[in-house]
Structure 1
C-alpha cells in the first residue's frame, strides 16, 4: 500500500484547542440558559393564573317553565327536588331535528351525575327512541306509583319513559337508578297535581 492510500484509510480525529473547546461549551451552556429562561417565562403566568373552578350552575327551572308554558300549550314540568339537586339548563324547543316540540331540563344529582328530563305532548315511538339514545327496552320500574318503561343503551346510559295525561316524559342519564327514582317521583307528583 502506498502512503497516500494509507492516509486516506486512516480516520482523522479532530483535535480541539482549549479555546475551541471553551467556545463549544459556551454554546451548550448558553442554549441551556436560554431554554431555562424560556421555561421560566412560560411557567410564571401559568402558575399565577388560578385554576378554573367547576361551578354548578343552578337555573330557575320554575321561572323558565312559566315563560315556556304559553308556547308549549301545557305547564312544563318543574318538579320540586330535595336539597343537593340542581339544574344546569332548562329550555323549550318548538322546532328541532325530530320535529317534536320538547321541554328539556338538565339535572345534576347530589352525587354529581346528570339526568336529562325531556317532555312533550306530541311523543311518538321514534321521538322516544331518539331521546333515549336508541336504547332498548330492558323492563319496567315503578316510581311515584306509576310504571315506567326502563331502557338501556349501548353507551351505558339508562332511560325511564312514562306516558301520563297526554304527556310523554323521558329521563336519560348515567346516574344510579335510585336517583332516577327521586326525579321520577317528583315528575309524577307534578303531572298528578298539574
Structure 2
C-alpha cells in the first residue's frame, strides 16, 4: 500500500486552538444559563400562586330536583345538610354513556372535600361499577339506619352504595368517611319523605 493511500484511509482529527475551544464551550454554557433563567422565571409565579381551592357555587338543589322530577319519574334527592356544606352542581341526565338516566349532585363538605351523589331508578351492577370508578367492595357501613355497601378504589376514592325502594344511590369521593356518613344520613332522611 502506498503512503498516499494510507493517508486517505486514516481519519483526520481536527485540532482546535484554545480560543476556538473557548468559543465552542461558551455557546453551550450560555445556552445552559439562558435555560436556567427561563425555568426560574416560570417557576417563580407558579410557586407564588397557591393552588385554587374548590369553591361552592351553592346551586339550588331542591329547585333543580323539582324540575327534574317530571323527567325522572321519581322525586330526585335534595337532602338538607348541616351548615358548611355546599353544592357545585345538580343535573338530570336522561341519556349518557352508561345508558342509565341519572340524577347527580356535587357536594363540598365543610373540609372542602368533594362527594358526588348519583341516583337512579334503573341501577344495575355495571352502572354501579362505572359510577364508583370500578372500586372493589370493601365491606358494609351503617349510616342513617341503613346498611350501605362500602367500596374503595386504588385512587383513594370511597363509594357508598344503597339500594332502597327501587332506587340506587351511590356516594363517591375522597372525603373522610365521617363526612360520607353525614351525607348518607341526610339521603336516608330524604328517602323517607317520599
TM-score between the two structures when normalised by the length of structure 2: 0.73
Higher Cα Rg: structure 1 or 2?
1
CA deviations 1:22-43 (Å, max 9, x no partner) are xxxxxxxxxxxxxxxxx9xxxx
Q: Deviation at 1:73?
A: 0.4
1:26 is matched with none
Aligned pairs for 1:26-105 (under 5 A) are 55-105=55-105
For 1:12 and 1:111, locate their aligned partners in 2 and report how far apart those are by CA, in whole Å.
65
Q: Deviation at 1:154?
A: 1.0
Structure 1 runs not aligned, ≥5 long: 1-10, 14-38, 40-45
Aligned pairs for 1:109-124 (under 5 A) are 109-124=109-124
For 1:99 and 1:59, locate their aligned partners in 2 and report how far apart those are by CA, in whole Å.
26
For 2:131 and 2:18, locate their aligned partners in 1 and report how far apart those are by CA, in whole Å.
77
Aligned pairs for 1:1-194 (under 5 A) are 55-194=55-194
Q: Deviation at 1:56?
A: 2.4
Structure 2 runs not aligned, ≥5 long: 1-16, 20-40
For 1:101 and 1:146, locate their aligned partners in 2 and report how far apart those are by CA, in whole Å.
24
TM-score between the two structures when normalised by the length of structure 1: 0.73
For 1:52 and 1:69, locate their aligned partners in 2 and report how far apart those are by CA, in whole Å.
37
For 1:12 and 1:92, locate their aligned partners in 2 and report how far apart those are by CA, in whole Å.
75
- Which runs of at least 4 in structure 1 moved beyond 6 Å after TM superposition? 50-53
For 1:154 and 1:187, locate their aligned partners in 2 and report how far apart those are by CA, in whole Å.
26
Q: Deviation at 1:51?
A: 9.3
Q: CA RMSD in A?
A: 2.6
Corresponding residue SS for 2:59: coil
